[in-house]
Each structure stands twice: as C-alpha cells, then as structure tokens.
A and B are shown apart, each in its own frame.
Chain A
Amino acid sequence: NAGVTQTPKFQVLKTGQSMTLQCAQDMNHEYMSWYRQDPGMGLRLIHYSVGAGITDQGEVPNGYNVSRSTTEDFPLRLLSAAPSQTSVYFCASSRGGGTTDTQYFGPGTRLTVL
C-alpha cells in the first residue's frame, strides 16, 4: 500500500492564482481531512469528509474548496491564493472517522504564495 499520497510536494504561486492540491489514499478509508500547519500553530483543520459525496468545514475553511467524488481522492482547491495561505498542507485519512481512530498523514505540500 502507498498509504496517503500528496502532490505536488512543493508549489509557488502568485497572489490571485488558483490551484488544486491532490490527495489520494489506497486504504479504503471513509474519513479524509485537510490540515494546514503554520509555525507555532500546530495543525488546523480546513475541511473534512466522512465519505464520498459528503464534506464539511473545519476550523479554517475560508479560501478553500473541497469535493469527494470517490473514496480514494480528496482534492483541496485554492480559489484565489493569498500570502496568508503560505503554509504546509497535510492530508490525512482514517478508517471510520472516529476520533480514536488512527489518522494516517501524507508527506505534505509546502505552498508559498508571493
């Protein structure tokens, strides 16, 4: 199993550009989520999904869109990038979405917005 994969690993954008961060998992997990990690802030939840076709907002959803058309994929779209979105983005998946389940994280995407 590849686990959770994320692409790209690094990305530089200009203010106002849009892009999609890709996330895929091959563990047949129902629950997937996106976090951003900023220095001194830990991880903050952006959006999450409890299954295909179902998404919900997390702690910091503004400026981001998600969709979940398949169990495997959970892309994160930045509609109009801003410097405040410079961060490291992690995708995670877990079996059932219960908060005692193990969350498996991808390797992250380091995004810089100029």
Chain B
Amino acid sequence: TQLLEQSPQFLSIQEGENLTVYCNSSSVFSSLQWYRQEPGEGPVLLVTVVTGGEVKKLKRLTFQFGDARKDSSLHITAAQPGDTGLYLCAGARTGRRALTFGSGTRLQVQP
C-alpha cells in the first residue's frame, strides 16, 4: 500500500481542457512537493507547500495543500501539449528527513 495515493493514474485530454490531479494519504505531512518528470529525465520540482490550506499558483498550475495536511491537489487550466509528463507528489512526514513519493499521474495532452 502506497503512503501517498495519486489519482488518476493516467489522464489523456485535449489541448485547452482543465484537469485536476489528486494526492491523498491517511498520514499527516509537514510539507508536500509536486514534481514533473519527462521521459528519460529526472523529476523537476514544481512547487512546495508547507501550510495547511495553502494555495500556490504557477502560471496555469494551481496547487493546494489540504487543511489537515493529509492531501494535495494540482489543477491545470487550459492544458497544453507541453504539460505532458508524469506528475509526482512527494511528502515529508513530521520528524522524518526522507521524502515519500506517490506513484504518479501520467498526463497526455493531445494537440
């Protein structure tokens, strides 16, 4: 059982559509990060959220950390083919130094 469950696992949409990716856990996290990974490359950090209820915007991407710090979401507005990739959430449990990664959401945006 994954500590961080991501849904959906796969998502294929048309350019211009909106989408939301979820990252859920039964554990409390002191912080959560979102990464994007393209084929053949390592993950690249998109954002870090540390406060329950926090919302961060990065151009067309909106990230939210749940009030109870057990879940997070990533919303993309007007998706573009350049958004295609594997989206990974990663959390740090209180008192732990290591990050735990979710299994990822693979997004395909068709032109």
Residues of chain A having any CB pair with chain B under 8 Å = 4, 33, 35, 40-45, 48, 50, 58-59, 90, 92, 97-100, 102-103, 105-108
B42 within 8 A of A: yes
| Neighbouring A residues of B102 by C-beta, 8 Å | 42
Question: What class of interface size applies to chain B in its complex with A?
Answer: 20 to 34
| Neighbouring A residues of B33 by C-beta, 8 Å | 100, 103
Residues of chain B having any CB pair with chain A under 8 Å = 2, 4, 6, 9, 30-31, 33, 40-45, 48, 50, 88, 90, 92, 96-104
16 A-B contact pairs sorted by A residue (CB < 8 Å):
A40-B9, A41-B2, A42-B2, A42-B102, A43-B43, A43-B88, A48-B97, A58-B98, A90-B42, A97-B97, A99-B97, A99-B98, A100-B50, A105-B41, A107-B40, A108-B41
